Each structure stands twice: as C-alpha cells, then as structure tokens.
C-alpha cells in the first residue's frame, strides 16, 4: 500500500499507525481519510495483527482534526464509510485500538481518540471539541461518545464551552486511561498492547464485542443474547478455547494462535 499521509509499522501482533502530516499538526483531509480507511481495513482483516495503536507524527500534535485551511482553499470535505480518520464510524472492528495521544487532539482528532478503546496521553496532550468556534459541530461521533464516556453534565461542560482539557483532567474525567511523560506515550501504549496480547485474541475480541453490544440494550437482554454474538461463537469454536484450559492444567504459558 502506497501511503502518503500515514505510516504503518508492525511489532509482532501489534500494528502502529502514525498520522503523518506534521506540517499541519496532523490535521486530516479527504485523501487522508480514505487512506486511513484502507489502513485500518488491512489491520482488521489481518489475522496475525491483534492490537492497533494510533498516534501522531512529531511531539506537538496527535491530530488537529479537520484540515480547515485545505477546506477553506476549496478542498471538498468527505470521508469513507468508516468515518473520520477511518475510525469514528468503524463499528465492526472487534480488535482493540489504542490512541497514543502525543499532543493536541482537537475536534476530529479528539473524536478519533474517543473512538479508540483506550487513550494513553502524554503530559502535554490537550483535548477539545472546538467546532462551534468555527461555525461547525462535532458530528464525527464526539457529541455522542463523550457523554457516554464521562457523563452528561461533564460532557455538556466541555461541548458548550469548547474548552481545552489537559491530560490530567482527562484522566480525572475518565476518558484517559494513563498519563505519561512527553516522549513516552507510544512506549506506554505498546506496554498496554503487549499486556493485551498476553490474553487470547479470540477472547479479547469476544469481550470487546460483548461489551459494546451489551451497552446498546438492556442488561437482561444482553446476558440472554451474548452467546449468539459472532465473536463469542468464534471464540467457543477456536483452538485458543481448547489451549487455554489445557495450558492451565499443564501449568505452562498458553500458546495463543488467534484462531
């Protein structure tokens, strides 16, 4: 895949996607969205890749959101079915995705982070949905994900004021999982990914899918239907499902195959 606006590296079962437009604080335009759509499609389809990390090039920005200068110059705004950055409307990926936020995460950049399963933030990270200040609204999922993750009143406070939130406050509010020194955020995200990879990827996918689908319905219905979820069925039919108890009984580390 010929990549112009992002970089992809792989470390074993971990895919690291770097948004690479540092000259505009990794802001994204139409071509970048479609490229990232293909990048995350490839990750989702690769059975040997179990966890993804998304970060930004440089030490100033994770992603500044929509490239407003490009749009003001006549660039036509748009993205693929998977949404802003190839992630905000990607509802069918059961593999964990970690945001390693290395600087500002504004607007669509914050919405990308909110669409990830975990957010690891550098101490210099800043988060906001500032779209109202330029006559827009955060319609790439931020207006829906933020209140689901931190509660209605706290989300309203951020959204209606468009204020900037530090990494530490994000941790207190609950949308950040860990704050680390500047320059260490990708390494910290890799540690999280490596810990996740110690578990069966089939079980991880089943757990993520069950959690997400369960939030869409009542507790009673979620428990009643969970064994019919595709990822749960795949887990129960997998080699890992046999390997886990076998390794436990033999007192040895399991050898996960992800199938």
pLDDT at 68: 81
pLDDT at 76: 74
List, for residues 147-179, the tens digit of each pLDDT value: 999 999 999 999 999 999 999 999 999 999 999
Is 111 part of the annotated catalytic residue set? yes
pLDDT at 79: 78
List, for residues 59-111, the tens digit of each pLDDT value: 999 999 998 888 777 767 777 899 999 999 999 999 999 999 999 999 999 99
Inform me whether the pLDDT recorded for 21 exceeds 90: yes
- Of all residues in the chain, the percent with pLDDT exceeding 70 is 100
The one catalytic residue among 23, 111, 220, 250: 111
Q: Which residues contact 23 (CB under 8 A, 6 or more apart)?
A: none
pLDDT at 75: 66
Question: Which range (11-20, 76-85, 183-192) has the least confidence?
Answer: 76-85
Burial class of residue 101 in the structure, from the number of CB atoms within 10 Å of its CB (0-12 exposed, 13-18 middle, 19+ buried): buried
Look up the pTM and report it. 0.96
Of 98, 96, 235, 119, nearest to 173 (Cα)? Answer: 119
Is 194 part of the annotated catalytic residue set? no
pLDDT at 1: 79
* 3-state percent helix, strand, coil for the chain, nearest multiple of 5: 45, 15, 35
**What kind of fold does domain 6-196 have according to CATH?**
2-enoyl-CoA Hydratase; Chain A, domain 1 (3.90.226)
pLDDT at 199: 97
Looking at per-residue pLDDT, the higher value among 1 and 172 belongs to: 172
The one catalytic residue among 131, 194, 228, 243: 131
């Amino acid at each position: 895949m010929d990549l112009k606006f992002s970089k992809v590296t792989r470390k074993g079962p971990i895919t690291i996607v770097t948004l690479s437009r540092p000259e505009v604080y990794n802001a994204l335009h139409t071509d970048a969205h479609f490229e990232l759509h293909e990048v995350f499609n490839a990750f989702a389809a690769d059975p040997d890749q179990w966890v993804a990390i998304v970060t930004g090039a440089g030490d100033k920005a994770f992603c500044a959101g929509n490239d407003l200068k490009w749009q003001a110059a006549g660039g036509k705004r748009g993205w693929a079915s998977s949404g802003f950055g190839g992630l905000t409307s990607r509802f069918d990926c059961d593999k964990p995705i970690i945001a390693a936020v290395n600087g500002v995460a504004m607007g669509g950049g914050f919405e990308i982070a909110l669409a990830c399963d975990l957010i690891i933030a550098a101490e210099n990270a800043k988060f906001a949905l500032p779209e109202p200040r330029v006559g827009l609204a955060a319609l790439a999922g931020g207006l829906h994900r933020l209140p689901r993750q931190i509660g209605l009143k706290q989300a309203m406070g951020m959204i209606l004021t468009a204020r900037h939130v530090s990494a530490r406050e994000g941790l207190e509010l609950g949308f950040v999982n860990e704050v680390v020194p500047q320059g260490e955020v990708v390494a910290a995200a890799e540690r999280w990914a490596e810990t996740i990879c110690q578990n069966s990827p089939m079980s991880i996918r089943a757990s993520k899918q069950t959690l997400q689908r369960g939030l869409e319905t009542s507790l009673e219905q979620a428990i009643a239907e969970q064994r019919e979820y595709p990822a749960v069925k795949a887990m129960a039919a997998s080699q890992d499902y046999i390997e886990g108890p076998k390794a436990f009984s033999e007192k040895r580390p399991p050898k996960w195959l992800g199938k």
